Amino acid sequence: MSKIYCVKLKKEAEALDYQPYPGAVGEKIVANISAEAWDMWVNHQTMLINEMRLTPVDPKARKLLEDEMEKFLFGEGSAKPEGYTPEK
């Protein structure tokens, strides 16, 4: 497994072995985001879909998820939905 400097985790970590998202955004992800950070996003995305009752095939939901993905991976982070309480 190759290593990269992950901008999300701010450390060297295992690189993704595939491009998980299409286009330029996917290229940016595979070049800068580790497999561990991508897994963190997938879990966060699942929570968003469930809590906000999003339909991923809906263009508005897809845009929201893409915006949240960029914030989560490269920005200030993606907030949890209002009123969210994790299962115990």
Least confident of 8-12, 57-61, 78-82: 78-82
56: containing domain:
3-74
The pLDDT tens digits of the residues spanning 25-78 come to 999 999 999 999 999 999 999 999 999 999 989 999 999 999 999 999 999 877
Is 53 within the bounds of a domain? yes
Is 82 within the bounds of a domain? no
Is 83 within the bounds of a domain? no
pLDDT of res. 78: 76
The CATH number given to whatever domain includes residue 54 is 1.10.3880.10
Asked if residue 88 has pLDDT above 60, the reply is: no
Is 88 within the bounds of a domain? no
Comparing CA positions, the residue from 69, 1, 79 lying closest to residue 37 is 69
Is 69 within the bounds of a domain? yes
Is 41 within the bounds of a domain? yes
The pLDDT tens digits of the residues spanning 44-54 come to 999 999 999 99
Is 61 within the bounds of a domain? yes
Contacts of 80 (CB under 8 A, 6+ apart): 47, 51
Specify the amino acid at residue 41. W
The whole-angstrom separation of Cα 88 and Cα 86 is 6
The structural domain count of the chain equals: 1
The whole model's pTM is what? 0.86
